[in-house]
């Protein structure tokens, strides 16, 4: 349920994402990295733009909202 809610919130916010089902055998390497290297034990795990410092686990609408705000602020900046 938390995975579905996270996907819905990301979609509603217009944030593109790739969905990886960690239960599948082909995702074994990713599952190992998430559990061993990042230390997460619950899904979903959200990795933001492959940034090694920007990730979380669980349904976190607060962090999705913050990410949405950051992206809207960045997209409104005018280059000089």
pLDDT digits (tens, 9 = 90+) for 2-24: 999 999 999 999 999 999 999 99
Q: Would you say residue 43 has pLDDT above 90?
A: yes
* SS3 of the chain: helix, strand, coil, percent, to 5: 50, 10, 40
pTM: 0.82
What domains appear along the chain, each with residue ranges and CATH number?
2-69 (3.40.30.10)
What's the mean pLDDT in 55-76? 89
C-beta atoms surrounding 46 within 10 Å: 19
């Amino acid at each position: 349920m938390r995975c579905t809610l996270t996907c819905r919130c990301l979609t509603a916010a217009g944030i593109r994402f790739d969905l990886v089902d960690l239960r599948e055998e082909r995702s074994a390497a990713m599952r190992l990295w998430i559990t061993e290297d990042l230390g997460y034990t619950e899904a979903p795990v959200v990795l933001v733009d492959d940034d090694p410092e920007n990730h979380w686990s669980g349904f976190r609408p607060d962090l999705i909202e913050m990410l949405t705000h950051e992206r809207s602020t960045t997209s409104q900046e005018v280059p000089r």
